[in-house]
Amino acid sequence: MTVLLFPGQGSQFVGMGKDSYEASDDAKKWFDQADDQIGYKLSSIMFDGTDEDLKQTKVTQPAVFLHSIIRYYLHSENLQASAVAGHSLGEITALVANGVLSFSDGLNLVQKRSLVMQDACNDTEGTMAAILGLEDEKVEDICNGIDAVVVAANYNCPGQLVISGSIEGINIAVEVAKEQGAKRALVLNVNGAFHSPLMLPAQDTLQKTIEETTFNKPSCPIYQNVNGEATTDTELIQLNLIKQLTSPVRWTQTMKNMVADGHNEYNEYGAKVLSGFFRRIDRSLVVNQV
Read off the pLDDT of residues 131-155 as tens digits, 9 standing for 90 and up.
Answer: 999 999 999 999 999 999 999 999 9
pLDDT of the residue at 37: 97
Is 82 a known active-site residue?
no
Q: Rg for the chain (alpha carbons), in Å?
A: 18
Query: Which residue ranges make up each domain of the chain?
Result: 2-123+197-289, 127-187
When the pLDDT of each residue in the chain is averaged and rounded to a whole number, the result is: 95
- Number of Cβ atoms within 10 Å of the Cβ of 15: 11
Stretch 176-198: mean pLDDT:
94
Is 43 a known active-site residue?
no
The H or E element that residue 35 is part of is helix 25-38
What is the percentage of the chain residues whose pLDDT exceeds 70? Answer: 100
Which fold does the domain 2-123+197-289 belong to in CATH?
Answer: Malonyl-Coenzyme A Acyl Carrier Protein; domain 2 (3.40.366)
Q: Would you give the DSSP letter of residue 249? A: B
pLDDT of the residue at 272: 87
CATH number of 127-187: 1.10.645.10, 3.30.70.250, 3.10.20.30, 3.90.1150.10? 3.30.70.250
Please check the confidence at residue 103 and state whether its pLDDT lies above 90.
Answer: yes
Residue 187 makes CB contacts below 8 A (sequence gap 6+) with 127, 128, 129, 170, 171, 174
Stretch 49-53: mean pLDDT:
91
- Number of Cβ atoms within 10 Å of the Cβ of 10: 18
> Higher confidence at residue 224 or residue 123?
224
29-33 contact pairs (CB < 8 A, 24+)? 30/66, 30/69, 30/70, 30/73, 30/103, 31/66, 31/70, 33/103, 33/104
pTM over 0.85: yes
Stretch 233-245: mean pLDDT:
97
Q: Which of 88, 114, 164, 275 is catalytic?
A: 88
What is the percentage of the chain residues whose pLDDT exceeds 90? Answer: 87
Q: Which of 20, 195, 247, 263 is catalytic?
A: 195
Stretch 104-127: mean pLDDT:
94
Stretch 24-52: mean pLDDT:
95
